[in-house]
Chains A and B, each alone.
Chain A
Amino acid sequence: MTTMMERSASAPGHSAKRKPLIERLNIVTALALGTVSAVVVWQLALKFMPDNADTAFFFNREDKISLLSLIAWFIGFMVGIGALIGPFRWLLGKDLNHDENMFYAGKDQGIKRYFRYTTDHKVVGIQYLVVTIIIFFVGGVLAMLIRTNLGHAQGGWIQPQTYNAIVGWHGIIMIVATIIMITGPFGNFVMPIMIGARDMAFPRLNALSFWLIVAAIPPVFISFFTGGITTGWSAYNPLASQAGLGMNGYIAFICIFALSTMVAGANITTTVIRMRAKGMTWNRTPIFIYGVVASVALALPAFPVFFLSQIMSGLDRAFATSFYNTTGGGSGWLYENLFWIMGHPEVYVILIPAVAALMEMAPVFTRAPLFSFNIAVMGIGGICGLSILVWAHHMYISGWAPLLSAPFMITTELISIPTGMLFLVLIGTIWRGNLWMTMPLMSIFALLWNFMIGGITGIYLSDVPADAFLHGSMYVTAHFHYTLMGAGLTGALASLVFWFPKMTGRMFDKKLSWVAFWLVQIGFNVAFMGMFLVGLAGQPRRVESYAAMFSRGNLITTIGAYTIMAGMLVLLHGVIISWRSGIKAPMNPWQSKTLEWTVPNPVPLENFDVLPIVTGDPYHYGKAQS
């Protein structure tokens, strides 16, 4: 068969061997075009950008140049990866034909499809998985540098400014990694199959959301070498306005990442609403789907606000506007509000899919129905509803709105109720179940323990008088690590082991999964219990050195951190060797009842030969045939 691509390759003006453009673009061309664009714009700006006027409030010429260069990088990268081919062809009235769409889907391309703008949701899921692992590795290295420096009261191993930059860098990339760690790999690979769809509603947007994240990473890496993110991950203004050029990398990173999140949110939400299999009513939709949709639905209104906050920050830096500059009529409180309007829902963007994934696994490994599906859905809905009304509990001490402290305290404490519902569902499912002791099941116990500590310690921070004492201390750092890492990451690691057979066709090495689990969980609790101790004793966070009285607690934390490191490296080793040479996985190794386990390994390009019709709920373990 002569395809359209073959015809276009032999069209006049093309050499006979020349591949069509769509086949020539990949990550190499993207990196090359992005780099060339950035360097060209940088050099042109250096040459032609006028000097600052004497009255310029900020050192804005350098900011203009670096922001323009980062924008050029972004545009060049997206052009180089092929993201604009589809829209451009559509504008010309020559939308992609079937063969080209099949090429975009990665058909018959082997490993090359993972380095291209591939639209197949399974490829995107694997791409997300690998990128998430890489980001976690970098963030983990930074965490170890922090903990090594804090292993001794005087610090001093790393310069204070470099230390600040490491803390900021660690913070922001770990937040991003935890945001994408479930919805990225598993939401993309598993979710469409789980609802009985052939792909996402907007496959090109799916590829776009992934490659936007890849485009966002270099700016934040470069920022480290141009002054760093010395403000902590929150980048409060006006601190950020007067920080070095590294902040421009942060701004570019957040803006591009926010675009990715918005695109992914619209795509996933549409897919679940419109493309569920026939018969998959909302009561028969797996709870993991609820978790993923809740996560992206929360992100949809939250991340545009984050995006806007950074645009304004960039304008303050580059054009001497005064959104956040008090002396020019702006307000630092404006930034704090915008940031936390994103920042607190974002906690649940991370947590909900992790808990939902474990709720998905609980029936599988207990061979019991999910305890009260309706309570689980109500719990997720309740958290979503309340989570957009709690942001100012981060600002009690800022003096922004003292009269609103009490209402925000109440909404924050109320969120314990829907969170408790999720605990109830997990415990109720495990209760008297036939426990199949796997790493994912143990992760449920770990989550219950860690999230209980994270939740209870969070209640004290939501309480205005207690927060006045604890705010800005290591106690806060320990608390949010207990929630985001102790609960969120635990759910993600369990998801990795659980869905690994479907994603790779291989079983995850069982022993390595256990070794990694115990090292990480023991190390985690040692590390952050130690951090609670020094936080309660008054050690401030984000400091490079500290008083000798905090030495013991910090040493304990550092020892715990090294234990986590060992566990995570064992897990990484497990991923590599299991993926490469693990035991071949059967189609449904866990005897689960959701749809993703009804398709063979490797999963066919369009998932199902015939779209399934759902006739029952996915959790009827131990019940009479429904």
Chain B
Amino acid sequence: MNKRFFAALGTVILGAAVIAGIGTYVASAKNDSRVLAATAAGTMDTPQGNLPHYTLDISVYPDAMFGGHGTGGGHPDWVSYGPVTNFTVPAHSAITITVANYDGGETLNNDFFGKIRGTIGGTATLNGETISSVAPDHVGHTFTVHGIAGEQSELFFSVPMKAVAEEDMPEEGYTKTPNVTVFTVITGDEGEYVWNCEYPCGDGTIAKFGNAMSSMGYMSGHFNVVKA
């Protein structure tokens, strides 16, 4: 009886171990495991008082022929953020994000994402000028972090990136004059968030919401708020 009981128990434990092993492997498998951490930049006066200040410098390119994707990437012709698409920023801090957009664009599906939301003052600077929105037919991409209702702090901000004008897009390589957008957000408690672009830029798919838009590591990634 005991032998039989322990044999059955052993099968259950072995099965659970198999599931745990596969689960651990699956959970650790990332499309792009590289992470860019925000750089410390002193402190900053914000509406919530003087907070630690950090910066993130990122870009968005019309293809994925740069950085870690490079020519050996799975989809070199897909539009992509870079140099990586996973970011960590400290909690309860002011984070200034600079995005250099090298890509063109057309018209947003949803005008909602043409307006800057969730940043300090609801504004950003575009090539040095303060703005609160970008005309929906001039948006190239957006950088949008969606918080969801749950136990972690709410975090939502969405900033449109102005498209590079058609005439400024070179036949080869990247434009020398990207549109640079700078904005600052304030983080809450620690939490794991997902960011994505809300401008449909998955060329070659229906409604342009496929490939780069539906694959982590191109136009979406992780935005994790960690302990300072």
Residues of chain A at the chain B interface (Cβ within 8 Å): 56-59, 141, 144-145, 148, 153-154, 156-162, 166, 227, 230, 238, 241-244, 325-327, 509, 511-512, 515, 545-548, 565-566, 569-570, 572-574, 576-577
With contacts A59-B211, A565-B12 known, what are 19 further pairs, Cβ within 8 A? A56-B204, A145-B19, A153-B151, A154-B150, A154-B151, A157-B27, A161-B31, A238-B207, A242-B209, A242-B214, A509-B4, A511-B4, A545-B148, A548-B150, A565-B16, A570-B12, A572-B11, A573-B11, A574-B8
Is B125 close to A, CB under 8 A? no
Contact residues in A for B18 (Cβ distance below 8 Å): 141
**Chain A nearest Cβ from B20, distance in angstroms:** 9
**Chain B nearest Cβ from A543, distance in angstroms:** 9
Which B residues, 43 to 95, have Cβ-Cβ distances below 8 Å to chain A?
A: none
A327 touching B211 by the CB < 8 A rule?
A: no
A512 touching B8 by the CB < 8 A rule?
A: yes
B204 touching A57 by the CB < 8 A rule?
A: yes
B31 touching A145 by the CB < 8 A rule?
A: no
Determine the residue in chain B with the shortest Cβ distance to A512: B8
Contact residues in B for A577 (Cβ distance below 8 Å): 4, 7
B15 touching A565 by the CB < 8 A rule?
A: yes
**Chain B nearest Cβ from A207, distance in angstroms:** 31
A565 touching B211 by the CB < 8 A rule?
A: no
**Chain B nearest Cβ from A160, distance in angstroms:** 7
**Could you list 20 A-B pairs, sorted by A, with CB under 8 Å?**
A57-B204, A58-B205, A145-B26, A156-B192, A157-B27, A161-B214, A161-B215, A238-B206, A242-B209, A242-B210, A326-B206, A511-B4, A512-B8, A548-B150, A565-B12, A565-B16, A569-B16, A570-B12, A573-B11, A576-B11
Interface residue from A144, A166, A547 paired with B148 (Cβ < 8 Å): A547
Is B152 close to A, CB under 8 A? yes
A548 touching B151 by the CB < 8 A rule?
A: yes
**Chain B nearest Cβ from A33, distance in angstroms:** 29
Contact residues in A for B215 (Cβ distance below 8 Å): 161, 227, 244
| Known pairs A243-B214, A569-B11, A572-B15; A158 contacts B26 (CB<8 A) | yes
Is B30 close to A, CB under 8 A? yes
A145 touching B216 by the CB < 8 A rule?
A: no
Contact residues in B for A148 (Cβ distance below 8 Å): 23
Closest 8 CB pairs of A and B: A242-B210, A573-B11, A242-B205, A569-B15, A547-B149, A238-B206, A569-B12, A144-B19
A63 and B19 alpha carbons, distance in the complex (Å): 32
Contact residues in A for B30 (Cβ distance below 8 Å): 159
Contact residues in B for A58 (Cβ distance below 8 Å): 204-205
Interface residue from B11, B12, B22, B192 paired with A145 (Cβ < 8 Å): B22
A159 touching B216 by the CB < 8 A rule?
A: yes
Interface residue from B22, B29, B205 paired with A59 (Cβ < 8 Å): B205
Contact residues in B for A227 (Cβ distance below 8 Å): 215
B192 touching A565 by the CB < 8 A rule?
A: no
| Known pairs A242-B210, A545-B150; A161 contacts B11 (CB<8 A) | no
A154 and B214 alpha carbons, distance in the complex (Å): 20
Is B202 close to A, CB under 8 A? yes
A570 and B14 alpha carbons, distance in the complex (Å): 11
A162 and B194 alpha carbons, distance in the complex (Å): 14
Determine the residue in chain A with the shortest Cβ distance to B24: A157
B26 touching A243 by the CB < 8 A rule?
A: no
Determine the residue in chain B with the shortest Cβ distance to A326: B206
A524 and B205 alpha carbons, distance in the complex (Å): 40
Contact residues in A for B26 (Cβ distance below 8 Å): 145, 158, 162, 166
Interface residue from B27, B152, B194, B207 paired with A158 (Cβ < 8 Å): B27
B19 touching A141 by the CB < 8 A rule?
A: yes
**Chain B nearest Cβ from A332, distance in angstroms:** 10
A59 and B203 alpha carbons, distance in the complex (Å): 9
A457 and B16 alpha carbons, distance in the complex (Å): 32
A157 and B20 alpha carbons, distance in the complex (Å): 12
Determine the residue in chain A with the shortest Cβ distance to B29: A162
What per-residue 1/0 map shows which CB atoms of B1-13 lie under 8 Å from chain A? 0001001100110
A153 and B192 alpha carbons, distance in the complex (Å): 12
A515 touching B151 by the CB < 8 A rule?
A: no
Which B residues, 154 to 197, have Cβ-Cβ distances below 8 Å to chain A?
A: 191-192, 194
A145 touching B8 by the CB < 8 A rule?
A: no
A141 and B205 alpha carbons, distance in the complex (Å): 33
Determine the residue in chain B with the shortest Cβ distance to A562: B16
Determine the residue in chain B with the shortest Cβ distance to A138: B22
Contact residues in B for A157 (Cβ distance below 8 Å): 23, 27
A547 and B151 alpha carbons, distance in the complex (Å): 8
What per-residue 1/0 map shows which CB atoms of B202-228 lie under 8 Å from chain A? 101111011100111000000000000
A257 and B191 alpha carbons, distance in the complex (Å): 43
| Known pairs A157-B27, A242-B211, A548-B151; A141 contacts B11 (CB<8 A) | no
Interface residue from B22, B148, B150, B192 paired with A141 (Cβ < 8 Å): B22
A242 touching B150 by the CB < 8 A rule?
A: no
Interface residue from A153, A160, A243, A570 paired with B11 (Cβ < 8 Å): A570
**Chain B nearest Cβ from A403, distance in angstroms:** 28
Determine the residue in chain B with the shortest Cβ distance to A569: B15
Interface residue from B23, B27, B205, B216 paired with A144 (Cβ < 8 Å): B23
A548 and B152 alpha carbons, distance in the complex (Å): 10
Interface residue from B7, B22, B209 paired with A573 (Cβ < 8 Å): B7
**Chain A nearest Cβ from B86, distance in angstroms:** 11
Contact residues in B for A59 (Cβ distance below 8 Å): 204-205, 211
**Chain B nearest Cβ from A523, distance in angstroms:** 12
| Known pairs A159-B216, A569-B12, A573-B7; A241 contacts B206 (CB<8 A) | yes
Contact residues in B for A509 (Cβ distance below 8 Å): 4
A548 touching B11 by the CB < 8 A rule?
A: no
Determine the residue in chain A with the shortest Cβ distance to B75: A59
A427 and B7 alpha carbons, distance in the complex (Å): 37
Contact residues in B for A572 (Cβ distance below 8 Å): 11, 15
Determine the residue in chain B with the shortest Cβ distance to A57: B204
Contact residues in B for A546 (Cβ distance below 8 Å): 150
A243 touching B210 by the CB < 8 A rule?
A: yes
A242 and B215 alpha carbons, distance in the complex (Å): 11
**Chain B nearest Cβ from A308, distance in angstroms:** 21
A160 and B220 alpha carbons, distance in the complex (Å): 11
**Chain B nearest Cβ from A190, distance in angstroms:** 27
Determine the residue in chain A with the shortest Cβ distance to B224: A156
Determine the residue in chain B with the shortest Cβ distance to A225: B29
